[in-house]
Structure 1
């Protein structure tokens, strides 16, 4: 088509609207001029839209705008809206832009309802425009999307990666006819037809065909306001940029659904392209930190070493937001990371039970490898965050008890304990659905809220176990405290206090660190805060469970004969009959 096409890209909030309006007491919040505190959504750069924009602009006459509502709600001075639908409609009605096509993304399960609300709001404001959706959730759950009245606002949903399908949509003479006939797009008619319909991917094999991502679509500083990595104690970046140097993952971990969008075959940007991109991000945009979001960065160890050499040569810091495959992190590889300035890694540990890893998660990892990686990282001076999942279908209390015991000795600096979530498109979801295990919200679920209940455990039990493991691994048995690395441990505790000022355990073990550093004044001040917050009934209960004395004048480490406390709820209470 000869006329310029205008596209509007919309990114809904990555957290639920309920959690935004009524934040839990353990999340980072922002207070607005209306006097209320709101949960801060992550403001990571929307790489999918940046890639789509770059690809379209390479060969087409298009004008593209981006509205990332994660950023917009942070900037808003007040929030007088009762629904996300109303907020989106209000933002769009005064927009000085008349788009031909509006695209809405949905990458994560917690944003599912926001995705539907956004589509419905767009339809209300732009009744005659072409509205499309895409991302991880619509790809895997297009039938569920179209079963919702709000989901029917979408003319079509893209199946998998969108560069080529969106390009073909823009150039089509009859766009709605193209959507109806293309196997790369799913319409309501196709999704609900009794006739079989099998959508298909349309991948770009050579990722260098996608030009340098269109970072100019974004307000970079606003997108740096609340990065996921900002919760990590040891990484302080001035200006960060998300990057993705490859697509695909060959592994078949039962809890993962990334293959639904990117496939299982690996595809790459060339090393020359990566270096050129990093140089632009540093010299033109002032970037000092690259945040890698590859699903399987470690697929080619030689390539990873070359990327690390590029980072070192350009004097760039780097963060690896997705857990790296531990089998590839041998001592030589870790030394390359360290030489490139890497001082923190997220370890995809997943479980401390070998049975759970092998049989339930189908993860090709032996726990002894995890132990060696954690040990090598500590010796090299690389801070480690270990990702843990509990509540897999088939997991038992004995498995969880084994995990608690083994993880205590892992030596990782910090643990992120998550509830296994049955992501649409994952094998875990298929198993959970077939066996009737799903009890909570799946399309709107996150890793903090359990949604699976089996013969072996109830949802309340998993929620309680999650928090007990958080307290015992990060506080009571903190590896840095055990090893006398008090300054490092204190940084972690102070980071918790920054987010949750009334965290009694953070104050108590912070006091223990000050005691170890012979700072009596600070120790006493932290203990006073501990005694203040330990009066809360919730903390009072956990103090009893873990043997913390609210009347103590100074903190004490756990006794050598320490016994792990049990959850207050029986494993199968409220569980499946």
Structure 2
């Protein structure tokens, strides 16, 4: 038997379908005995895994691992299983081991790493474990040889979603995952593509999946969403694609195919791509239920965008702010502030640019991060000239310093002066209080009025220093922050 484990990554109210393990389960369905254990639902996943090992002949524990809280949960559970059941092989897959394979493989309790897209790699790994093929022939696999030395095989070419079967939703209590959100009472999630064709210097997606994007056909996407609606009562969906709108013809066809489902939905897109869409396409997306779109605006400085290799301009971001307002779609703009090239200038120009966007479209949601690099292919330091020495084990990544770095709470970036960091953090508090996110469905009306009132004078006058009253108010109200929802 194979056990697929999704370690806890979020609070119960934020849990969503574990798409990563469902994708792996899809290729195991009808060919291997397997069970899914989800730490976001199971209060004691280690006990559940242990019962399966004691009841069945479990030969492999597959663990899906994202950086942050899930990595810590994966580390703790893997260590306990290895100690109690040393004969069970453990394989890690997902974003964390794909971007940091050497660190993950340095853990004594990890036997194999599946990098990037894992469906075919896992099937071939099972064949190798059963003596049917050589480990060194498996693309996308990292492992320890007979001498305990790490081996990293060549990368595996990516396949499109249509080349794999549907997720076996029946294997999970789907009703536990359709949680209320701003978009609906029963919000599902879906991944309609994999990869990203762009090369932003601070992003780890192409480090994990290369610089290609494979799209699911609109017909299949519509069929899966229809299944979630008719079988489980989904009324809304969040698309987890890095670029949901890569091509206008694809977006328009999909909008027409799902309009009848009456879903409200959220997705991610690029400002350069969508700024060129026709009014017809924007109107079709709105009719199809598009409610909010996340855009990586990243900076208010064109020179910083060039250094990031982002491939967009501030003018295109302004265009998106105008057009989303025209069609009644909420834009969610994300910024990574403090570019290592000139963090003070980038901060100054980006804060002014954010104010410009809010004036153009007050409904714009603003998400602010400190510039946080990840290792890049051919540039292992994310465009920061070797100023960061990356941890070499999961245990180091689990330390407070690196957890804060991973979650962008406090990166301790050597190029970011304390006064600049404080300015970014204080501005975030002021603008987040002046325009509390619409996505917090739990916050009472009075709390929003209080925050807006307290912050109005600061925002109007551009006074961001020492916002103590706003810090106290935010702690008292505990308003949801979109970038902190997994904590």
Provide the TM-score with structure 1 as the length reference: 0.70
Cα distance between partner residues in 2 of 1:341 and 1:405: 32
Aligned partners of 1:473 and 1:547: how far apart in 2?
Answer: 11
Matched, 1:168 2:142: no
Which 10-residue stretch deviates more, 374-383 or 303-312? 374-383
Matches within 5 A, 1:196-207: 197-203=151-157, 205-207=159-161
- SS of corresponding position for 2:40: helix
CA contact (8 A) 1:141 1:425 kept: no
Native 8 Å contact 1:146 1:152 kept in 2: yes
Aligned to 2:141: 185
The equivalent residue for 2:184 is 237
* Structure 1 residues 567 and 369: alpha-carbon distance in aligned structure 2, compared to 1, 3 A threshold: farther
How many Å separate the matches in 1 of 2:389 and 2:340? 8
Q: Quote the residue 2:471 is aligned against.
A: none
Q: Secondary structure at the match of 2:102?
A: helix
Quick one: distance in 2 between partners of 1:293 and 1:494?
Answer: 19
Deviation at 1:208, TM superposition (A): 1.7
Aligned to 1:565: 464
Structure-1 residue corresponding to 2:270: 325
1:274 aligns with 2:221: yes
What is the alpha-carbon distance in structure 1 between the residues aligned to residue 38 and residue 214 of structure 2?
28
8 Å contact from structure 1 (residues 50, 214) kept in 2: yes
- Determine if contact 2:95/2:116 at 8 Å carries over to the other structure: yes
**SS of equivalent residue, structure 1 residue 352:** coil
Bigger Cα Rg: 1
- Name the counterpart of 1:119: 78
Structure 2 counterpart of 1:381: 328
Aligned pair 1:449/2:409, yes or no?
Answer: yes
**Using the alignment, how far apart are the partners of 2:49 and 2:424 within structure 1?**
40
Whether the 8 Å contact between 2:336 and 2:370 is mirrored in structure 1 is: yes
1:64 maps to which of 25, 34, 51: 34
CA contact (8 A) 2:2 2:62 kept: yes
Q: Which runs of 5+ in 1 are unaligned?
A: 1-5, 16-38, 74-86, 479-488, 513-529, 531-542, 549-557, 569-577
Preserved CA contact (<8 Å) 2:256 2:288: yes
What residue in structure 2 maps to residue 102 of structure 1? 61
Distance 2:350 2:87 in 1: 55
1:11 aligns with 2:6: yes
Per-residue deviation at 1:181? 5.1
The CA RMSD measured in Å over matched residues stands at 3.3
Q: Greater RCO between the two (CA within 8 Å, min separation 6)?
A: 2
CA gap 1:262/1:284 in 2 versus in 1, 3 angstroms: same
Measured in 2, the distance between the counterparts of 1:419 and 1:190 equals 42
Length-normalised TM-score, structure 2: 0.81
Aligned counterparts of 1:447 and 1:211: Cα–Cα separation in 2 = 33
Give the match's secondary structure for 1:299: coil
1:229-281 residue CA offsets vs partner (Å, 9 max, x unmatched): x4xxxx33132222122222111101111123332122232233223222222
Contact 2:197 2:212 in 1 (8 A): yes
* Structure 1 counterpart of 2:305: 357
* 1-structure distance, mates of 2:439, 2:219: 41
How does 1:543-558 map onto structure 2 within 5 Å?
Answer: none
Q: Does 1:416 align with 2:367?
A: yes
The alignment partner of 1:298 has SS state of coil
- Residue 283 (structure 1) aligns with: 230
The more displaced of 341-350 and 438-447 is 438-447
Confirm whether residue 299 of structure 1 aligns to residue 246 of structure 2: yes
Question: d(CA) in 2 for partners of 1:376 and 1:224?
Answer: 31
Give the direction of change, closer, same or farther, for the CA distance of 1:192–1:370 in structure 2 (3 Å limit): farther
Q: Contact 2:160 / 2:214 at 8 angstroms: preserved in 1?
A: yes
Structure 1 residue 336 corresponds to structure 2 residue 284 = yes
Distance 1:356 1:567 in 2: 28
> 2:272, 2:312 within 8 Å by CA — same for their partners in 1?
yes
Output one character per residue of 1:167-186: Cα deviation in whole Å (capped at 9) or x when no partner. 22334463597446534321
Q: Which residue of 2 aligns with 1:142?
A: 101
Superposed displacement of residue 467, structure 1: 2.6
Distance 1:343 1:101 in 2: 41
Return the alpha-carbon distance in structure 2 between the equivalents of residues 206 and 415 of structure 1. Answer: 32
Query: In 2, Cα distance between the equivalents of 1:397 and 1:429?
Result: 21
What residue is the counterpart of 1:434 in the other structure?
386
Aligned partners of 1:238, 1:93: CA distance in 2, in Å?
Answer: 35
Within the candidate set 83, 87, 110, 1:128 is matched to 87
The structural deviation recorded for 1:453 is: 2.2
From 208, 212, 220, the counterpart of 2:166: 212
The 1:425/1:443 distance shift into structure 2, 3 A limit, reads farther
Quick one: distance in 1 between partners of 2:254 and 2:224? 12
Question: Relative to structure 1, is the Cα distance of residues 462 and 125 closer, same or farther in structure 2, using a 3 angstrom cutoff?
Answer: farther
State the alpha-carbon separation in 1 of the partners of residues 466 and 132 from structure 2: 55
Deviation string for 1:314-363 (max 9, x for gaps)? 3333221xx3111122352322221212222222211222222122x211
Q: Is the 8 A contact 1:437 1:453 kept in 2?
A: no
Cα separation, 2, equivalents of 1:260 and 1:493: 31
